[in-house]
Amino acid sequence: MSKTTLKITGMMCEKCMGTVSEALSSVDGVTKVDVDLKKGTAVVEHNGVPDEKLVMAVLDSGFKAKVKHGLF
């Protein structure tokens, strides 16, 4: 099991959080998604899904995302 933290920009409300969560949850291999509106992050647990695929899922849902590394 792998865990990736994404920095999400553009989320303004709970509906935005739901959209991001749904987009990430729909990616094959994703097992859990925890989106935090206040921090602007999404923590994704998955079975080896490439970072690019997670970022693209967020981009396709209308938001911007970057993989968060270290203190970022």
Instruction: Return the domain boundaries, the chain.
Output: 2-67
Low-confidence ranges of the chain (pLDDT < 70): 70-72
Residue 65's pLDDT is what? 97
CATH architecture of 2-67: 2-Layer Sandwich (3.30)
Return the H-helix or E-strand segment holding 44: strand 41-46
> What is the 8-class DSSP label of residue 38?
T
Residue 32: per-residue pLDDT: 98
Counting Cβ atoms within 10 Å, is residue 65 exposed (0-12), middle (13-18) or buried (19+)? Answer: buried
| pTM higher than 0.85 | yes
